[in-house]
Structure 1
Amino acid sequence: MSRSYRIAQMAGDGIGPEVVAEARKVVEAVASAKGFGLSWVDYPFGAEHYLKTGEILPESVLDELQSCQALLLGAIGDPRVKAGILERGILLKLRFFFDMFVNLRPAKAFPRVPLPVPLPEGREMDLLVVRENTEDFYVGLGGDGGSPVDLGLERGLYTMEGEMRVRFSTPQRSAFQVGLATEGAVRRITADACERALGRGEKRLTLATKANAMPQLYGFWEEMARDETEKRGLTFETINVDALCYHLVRTPWKWNVVLCPNMFGDIVSDLLAALSGGLGVAAGANIGAGLGMFEPVHGSAPDIARQNRANPLAAILSAALMLDCLGEKEAARSVEAAVGAFLAGARPDELPEEMGGRGTTSAVGDAVASHL
């Protein structure tokens, strides 16, 4: 075949192996239909591997992954492992090593997926949250006021050094969390969001902000993002993130591409996941200049693991994002259309369990693949 891609697969924990198997099934079906090749490299990392071996994610694997074009991830998290060990040791390690500065979270209303706030007749919901993925309050810098706060940080764009000291007039227990924005990081995520808006035929870009309360951080964001957006001929608008959440619930059809600093993007994208039908159709991508990581938002759901009950649609839609980022845009559109066709045409009992049906994980995957 003229085109071939080397894809890493990390099925992970809980329902991860089940939903990734169906996503892979669909990707292989569309690859066959569209004439490109795939080679898969499977990695065992997750809770089971950690509990058996004590190994989280070796440095040598990071080097191996550089030969892959994408990583398809199932889910990370298990109640038998202390929270944070796997998340920091696998997810954050991968994001920072490969400088995955873009987090994509589409929110689209699909046929027959129940919505908590029904759309008026003739209205559609099809948004894209573009979230900055390396800075803001998620840089992991902070501490208590009783000792200097180390501000050492390594990112793809820079290395930072420094420390913060505070002194109170009377003894106080205190805690600090540092938010960070740099011009390079804001400009590159804004440029990415602009390109995605233009690719969708949009003429404006909306920034979620809170400069009225935090002018140093988010006023800086507004300045850099406005300049970068207007260079590309798009209309730039800002809206306070609290007001945005209010309007998203009332009129989600009025919004298209929303650019968010890291923390706001985390919150807004989960709100939109609920508004567009729940985590069962919530896809996610972490991308940068190198390896991209594609994963459903829903987590590992250990209570239904290994029961063939999990909804695989979010994993399948995450695989569609993977194909799009690989440049196989027609294949990506075909997968999304196949999900829509399945949902529109399935009998009520064929729908996934969370949508009121009795469709098993494997049956839903088979049905989507059949539409390709």
Structure 2
Amino acid sequence: MKQYNIAYLPGDGIGPEVSAEAHKVLAKVSSDYGFSLKWVEFPYGATHYLKTGELLSQSALTEMADCSAMMLGAVGDPKVKPGVLEQGILLALRFHFDQYINLRPAVSFPNVPLPIALPKGEQINCVVVRENTEDFYMGIGGRGRKNFQVPLHAKRALYDFNATLDVKLDQDIEMAIQLGAISRPGIERVTRFGCELAKKRGEKNVALVSKSNAVPHIYGFLDEVTKEVVAKEYPDLTLSVVNVDALCYHLARKPQGWGVMICPNLFGDIVSDLLAGLAGGLGVAAAGNIGDGLSMFEPIHGSAPDIAGTGKANPIAAILSAAMMLQHVGEDKAAAVIEDAVKAYLADAKLPQMPIEFGGSASCSNVGDMVLARIK
């Protein structure tokens, strides 16, 4: 029997609750399909940080590197200053393991209420391929008055970036500066990932989300390199370049008309959350942080400490994230069975059997059990 070692961070708030339901489903399909999952648990999150002051240890990163994938419940607590956990755990994991793709599918499921009405027989079925290590999320910049220097440093798998910005102002005013940067290899690899995904989905078109008319240096370069890769390596695909503001307008009117969307880091974060809302909410929004080494899978809804322990959490996003993880390690059949079970549960459920998020009365564990019962 093949065994996969899975690094597991249950995290904070509802993280352990929704993860427990995903674990139940994973235990069933792994038994049915002849493989096993060994969970390698780590304590990192708000609770551990508040108790010890530790975010991540080097020894833990070394141990994680030997795992097949990572599953994250959720990280966050209002007792911790915003940005500490995001930068010290989530971004640290993404950058350390060079998880250069943030993959966020958006699918409208049966009986899940949507904010807009879709034509009969149509559904939302698209995916954001978000570049995950560059752009304006590199965290480099600073602030000062009149004449000041801003040290700029970012270490990535592709390069080690070092510079100093000398700022001279003719007025004694305070100014803040944030630097965004993208590289040719960074653009090329996310373009190839998006194109391969479009081929796998049987699609002929890929959309590049950009804004080169207003930000020509970064996004003009993005447009140029993406067009080169598609023309040279994927002649059977058509590339559509769409400004992010126009895309948001079109998504709000006709979200079912889109497939694979390649986005730079900043725009990908915004567009994927918009799509999550259009497709039914964060309770059905799964995500993967994918690289050539350890990849991490998580629901994008956060830790929701206000409902932790009440049973109100919706575990579907965690269950779908688990299916994404299985697909990543090569267990495609088991992953498809989980996705089918989620769809079957939602299609069959009467209102009281729906998650509380969708107006029903089913608890977190009830929802997990009902999905589990439909695994075939």
TM-score between both structures, scaled by the size of structure 1: 0.98
State the 1:145 CA deviation.
Answer: 4.4
With 325-334 and 292-301 compared, the bigger mean Cα shift is at 325-334
Tell me if 1:160 matches 2:161: yes
Q: CA offsets, 1:173-221, max 9 Å, x none?
A: 2111111010010001111111111110011110000000011110100
Q: Which amino acid aligns with 1:295?
A: E
Cα distance in 2 for partners of 1:150, 1:54 equals 26
Cα distance in 2 for partners of 1:237, 1:370 equals 42
Report if aligned partners of 1:145, 1:167 keep a CA contact under 8 Å in 2: no
State the 1:171 CA deviation.
Answer: 2.1
Cα distance in 2 for partners of 1:274, 1:67 equals 36
Cα distance in 2 for partners of 1:15, 1:179 equals 33
User: Which residue is 2:230 aligned to?
Assistant: 229
User: Which residue is 2:139 aligned to?
Assistant: 140
Matches for 1:53-92 after TM superposition, within 5 Å: 53-92=52-91
User: Which residue is 2:32 aligned to?
Assistant: 33
Cα distance in 2 for partners of 1:301, 1:271 equals 19
User: Which residue is 1:16 aligned to?
Assistant: 15
Cα distance in 2 for partners of 1:196, 1:331 equals 19
Matches for 1:100-119 after TM superposition, within 5 Å: 100-119=99-118
Q: CA offsets, 1:103-130, max 9 Å, x none?
A: 0010000000000011111222100000
State the 1:34 CA deviation.
Answer: 1.4
Report if aligned partners of 1:5, 1:38 keep a CA contact under 8 Å in 2: yes
With 242-251 and 43-52 compared, the bigger mean Cα shift is at 43-52
User: Which residue is 1:241 aligned to?
Assistant: 244
- Find the partner of 1:297 among 285, 289, 300: 300
Q: Which amino acid aligns with 1:190?
A: T
With 115-124 and 144-153 compared, the bigger mean Cα shift is at 144-153
What secondary structure does 1:90 align onto?
helix
Q: Which amino acid aligns with 2:308?
A: A
Cα distance in 1 for partners of 2:331, 2:70 equals 15
What secondary structure does 1:40 align onto?
strand
User: Which residue is 1:355 aligned to?
Assistant: 358
Cα distance in 1 for partners of 2:161, 2:44 equals 30
Pairwise CA RMSD of aligned residues? 1.0
- Find the partner of 2:280 among 274, 277, 280: 277
User: Which residue is 2:92 aligned to?
Assistant: 93
What secondary structure does 1:221 align onto?
helix
Cα distance in 1 for partners of 2:278, 2:139 equals 30
User: Which residue is 2:173 aligned to?
Assistant: 172
Identity of aligned residues (%): 54
Count matched residues.
Answer: 371
Cα distance in 2 for partners of 1:174, 1:86 equals 26
Tell me if 1:371 matches 2:374: yes
Name stretches of at least 5 consecutive residues in structure 1 with no aligned partner.
Answer: none
Q: Which amino acid aligns with 2:21?
A: E
Q: Which amino acid aligns with 1:85?
A: V
Cα distance in 2 for partners of 1:141, 1:86 equals 17
Report if aligned partners of 1:68, 1:291 keep a CA contact under 8 Å in 2: yes
Q: CA offsets, 1:34-64, max 9 Å, x none?
A: 1111111111111222222222211110000
Q: Which amino acid aligns with 2:43?
A: P
State the 1:22 CA deviation.
Answer: 0.5
User: Which residue is 1:181 aligned to?
Assistant: 182
Cα distance in 2 for partners of 1:108, 1:162 equals 42
With 320-329 and 98-107 compared, the bigger mean Cα shift is at 320-329
Cα distance in 1 for partners of 2:56, 2:153 equals 23
Q: CA offsets, 1:115-167, max 9 Å, x none?
A: 00111112221000000000000111111244211122110111111111121
Q: Which amino acid aligns with 1:237?
A: S
Name stretches of at least 5 consecutive residues in structure 2 with no aligned partner.
Answer: none
Report if aligned partners of 1:145, 1:165 keep a CA contact under 8 Å in 2: no
Q: Which amino acid aligns with 2:265?
A: N
Tell me if 1:342 matches 2:341: no
TM-score between both structures, scaled by the size of structure 2: 0.97
Q: CA offsets, 1:265-323, max 9 Å, x none?
A: 00000000000000000111101011111110100011110122210001001111111
Q: CA offsets, 1:77-119, max 9 Å, x none?
A: 0012222222211111111100000000100000000000111
Cα distance in 1 for partners of 2:151, 2:329 equals 38
What secondary structure does 2:299 align onto?
coil
